[in-house]
Copies of this chain bind each other. A is one copy, B any other.
Amino acid sequence: MADDRFHVYDTTLRDGAQQEGLNLTVADKLAIARHLDGLGVGFIEGGWPGANPKDTEFFRRARTELDLKHAQLAAFGATRRAGVKAADDPLVAALRESGAPVVTLVAKSHDRHVELALRTTLEENLAMIRDTVSHLRAEGQRVFLDAEHFFDGYKSNPAYALEVVRTAAEAGADVIALCDTNGGMLPDELAEVVLAAVATSARVGIHCHDDTGCAVANTLAAVKAGATHVQGCANGYGERSGNANLFTVVANLQLKRGFDLVPQEALADMTRIAHAITEVTNVTPNSHQPYVGVSAFAHKAGLHASAIKVDPNLYQHIDPAQVGNDMRMLVSDMAGRASVELKGRELGYELDATESRELVEKVKELEARGYTFEAADASFELLLKDTLNGERRRHFTVESWRAIVERRPTGEVVSEATVKVHAKGERIVATGEGNGPVNALDRALRQALERLYPELAALELTDFKVRILEGTHGSDAITRVLITSSDGKGEWATMGVAENVIEASWQALEEAVTYGLLRAGRECDSL
């Protein structure tokens, strides 16, 4: 459990999900929550149960499927409606029943919003806050309050905005997070308003958006003014220009301001976590992202090259290893030797210097072509084994395959695939049908091999991800396919890269089956 004196509060699953083009399934949300917990954040806002069936399901599944080590879940919701009791409001009931230890209530703190958007009186809005906070507290939940449009509200009516803070605190809210909801603030002016809120003696938090490009700086300014709770989103996700990037905020506070927010070894895993989350969201990673972007410590040689050799710290504001990133001198230098060696050791292989150099070269060359071994452990292990063996070994070779997808005049869509493979000295031809070309190819391949390798019957595709990489002419672009497979005992990920989505899928399938057979104790043959 994180220290309660300073809160790192993530709202990726609620406010971050407001980002254009970002649509998270419940399974995605659970996966992201696990990554955030791995980073050591204190609170994970999971969504708005009751308002949205998907979020209700998230909290239901979280009870059995999430085993959080550091973080506590927070359910987001609104204060009760005007004119009803909190105890009788079904939306408040949904928050109570979410099972979340924390409820974060959003409340209006801008007088004009109360009148124009909420259409109630300023006094009733205060009563709604008082009543909802104290009701949830009495029912045993911890309550935070998001004071919406606080800064514009303070400009419009400072006394009322501060009255909202006081009312919530007196009713039992532990934190009043001041929200720059439209993101229009600049740090100096924001800090003055935070000081005024801190002077009420309530515990103050901060929630910023990046509409002026100052979300991170605004958050830091609020902390300097006395806020002890920072909200933000993984990778700066969020509506419009995004929320404050929680990773940047944490790295700045911990590495430059001496705060002890997350475990040091978790901070050193931040780059991997940031990228793992982009694999879930399927949002292209921002290579320029401070601290964790692929380019964040990349130097175009020239003027700096010789000096960097003398002392890299002359040209870097931190040691990139502190956030799990690497300095890069040349283009497409994704993997360093150290991380390849570490990864090999993690998988149980000791590489000597020549082997690890050779493996790094292969990884670099393949990553330059679009492969990403970070997300495909099993493909990396196959490459590592080939390197150690000094040759490529497989259980089978492929002569050819063909996939046909057809929409018939009846409207029915059918997929069929044929594969021709060689294994244990035999040539085998097999055909499979499926609900799509990849499914059909998967069935055909397993059909072909199952007589020789009966353990393939237990093998199953559990996830399939497609990412289109660059290319300015749509279908001319490179396609990367990631496949997760299971044998009932464990899961593994493989990858394929090709112009053609079906060819990329096939490569990933072939490696998935190869790795599955190795797991089952079947050694490869020399080809």
| CB-contact partner of A117 in B181, B299, B307, under 8 A | B307
Contact residues, A283-334 vs B (CB, 8 A): 284, 286-291, 293-302, 306-307, 310-311, 314-318, 330-334
Q: A241-B290, A241-B293 are in contact. Are A375 and B301 (CB under 8 A)?
A: no
Q: Is A72 interfacial (CB-CB < 8 Å)? A: no
Question: Taking the nearest CB of chain B, how far is it from the CB of A338, in angstroms?
Answer: 11
- Chain B CB within 10 Å — which of A184, A293, A318, A500 has the most? A500
Q: Is A224 interfacial (CB-CB < 8 Å)? A: yes
Write out the residue numbers on chain B whose beta carbons fall within 8 Å of the beta carbon of A294: 20
Q: Is A252 interfacial (CB-CB < 8 Å)? A: yes
Q: A240-B288, A405-B503, A469-B25 are in contact. Are A212 and B252 (CB under 8 A)?
A: yes
Contact A256 B184 (CB under 8 A): yes
Q: A18-B300, A290-B212, A404-B403 are in contact. Are A474 and B467 (CB under 8 A)?
A: no
Contact A400 B407 (CB under 8 A): yes
Q: Is A94 interfacial (CB-CB < 8 Å)? A: no
A-B pairs, 7 with minimum CB distance: A184-B317, A217-B217, A461-B474, A117-B307, A439-B475, A213-B216, A466-B466
* Known contacts A401-B406, A474-B485, then 5 further A-B pairs from the complex at CB < 8 Å, ordered by chain A residue: A20-B331, A184-B318, A434-B475, A436-B499, A439-B474
- A: which residues have CB within 8 A of B? 18-21, 23, 25-27, 52, 110, 112-113, 116-117, 149, 181-184, 186-188, 210-218, 220-221, 224, 236, 239-242, 245, 248, 251-252, 256-257, 282, 284, 286-291, 293-302, 306-307, 310-311, 314-318, 330-334, 372, 374-375, 398-409, 413, 415, 420, 434-439, 442, 460-470, 472-477, 479, 483-485, 498-503, 506
